[in-house]
Copies of this chain bind each other. A is one copy, B any other.
Amino acid sequence: MLELLNKVNIQVKEGICLKDPSSSELGNKIFSEGVRMIDEIGMEAFTFKKLADAIGSTEASIYRYFENKHKFLLYLTSWYWSWTEYRMVFRMANIESCEERLERAIALLTNPAENDLAFGNVDQEALHRIVISESGKSFMTKDVDEDNRIGAYVAYKQCVSRVSELILELNPNYKYPHMLVSTVIEGAHHQRYFAEHLPRLTDVVKGEDSVGEFYRAMVFNTIQAK
């Protein structure tokens, strides 16, 4: 089983990058060191210059993979959502109960990611932190519509769509499944961030899975199916 999973390659919609970073050593370094660096210093302070220095390459070389740092962020979030969809499908496989599948999906979306060496040498926990604190900036921009056109958000939409279908299976009359799911996803990110920086906006207790418990109850109470 481990053999089989060894090196699953997450494909990101082409068009986001100029050249597929998973196709070369330099590309992989850009990806993994980029994640490390953005997690450390944040998107604002992050530059291709700093990244180039860190991996012993040059600005110009990185620009051959990504048009600019915004596209790089789109690539990271897109990779994250493809990876998350993969994990979601995996965790729901062979589970009969629809309720149980929904529970598992919510748990996946509301809990911190855990590193899985099967997916390259990217620090997925760090990537999750980046998604929490920077992904809003990937779509809250004047380029949303263009970025949407090139498919930068398909993986995200697909995750939302999958969970929405579970909800409709449990309650075919529920009117707002997509709203509910996107509320859970974005909400969970915010709560984790608030817990760290603005605790008065949340009720997260250290050591408890408050976020997961809160959103699980919220979803089931809202769709009135449990």
Q: Is A7 located at the chain interface by the 8 A CB criterion?
A: no
- Given A144-B197, A148-B198, are A179 and B157 neighbors across the interface (CB < 8 Å)? no
Task: List the one stretch of A21-29, A72-80, A83-91, A217-225 in contact with chain B.
Answer: A217-225
**A201 x B142 contact (CB < 8 A):** no
Q: Which residues of B contact A193 (CB under 8 A)?
A: 139-140
Min CB–CB distance A161 → chain B (angstroms): 7
**A148 x B197 contact (CB < 8 A):** yes
Min CB–CB distance A147 → chain B (angstroms): 9
Contact of A221 among B133, B140, B182, B221 (CB under 8 A): B221
**A134 x B144 contact (CB < 8 A):** no
- Given A153-B198, A183-B190, A222-B222, are A140 and B133 neighbors across the interface (CB < 8 Å)? yes
Q: Is A202 located at the chain interface by the 8 A CB criterion?
A: yes
Q: Is A15 located at the chain interface by the 8 A CB criterion?
A: no
Task: Find the B residue at minimum CB distance from A45.
Answer: B142
**B182 x A190 contact (CB < 8 A):** yes
Q: How many residues of A contact B (CB 8 A)?
A: 49
Instruction: Provide the bound-state CA to CA distance between A133 and B141, in Å.
Output: 8
Assembly of this chain: how many copies?
2
Min CB–CB distance A36 → chain B (angstroms): 16
8 Å CB contacts to B: which residues of A148-199? 148, 153, 156-157, 160-161, 175-180, 182-183, 186-187, 190-191, 193-194, 197-198
Q: Which residues of B contact A142 (CB under 8 A)?
A: 41-42, 44-45
Instruction: Provide the bound-state CA to CA distance between A193 and B137, in Å.
Output: 13
Min CB–CB distance A81 → chain B (angstroms): 12
**B137 x A198 contact (CB < 8 A):** no
- Given A186-B186, A200-B160, A201-B157, are A137 and B140 neighbors across the interface (CB < 8 Å)? yes
Q: Is A100 located at the chain interface by the 8 A CB criterion?
A: no
Contact of A202 among B144, B179, B191 (CB under 8 A): B179
The 7 A-B pairs at the shortest CB distance, nearest first, are namely A136-B136, A183-B187, A221-B221, A182-B201, A42-B142, A144-B197, A176-B203
A186-B190, A217-B222 given; 7 more Cβ-contact pairs under 8 Å: A136-B136, A137-B140, A148-B198, A160-B201, A175-B210, A179-B203, A183-B183
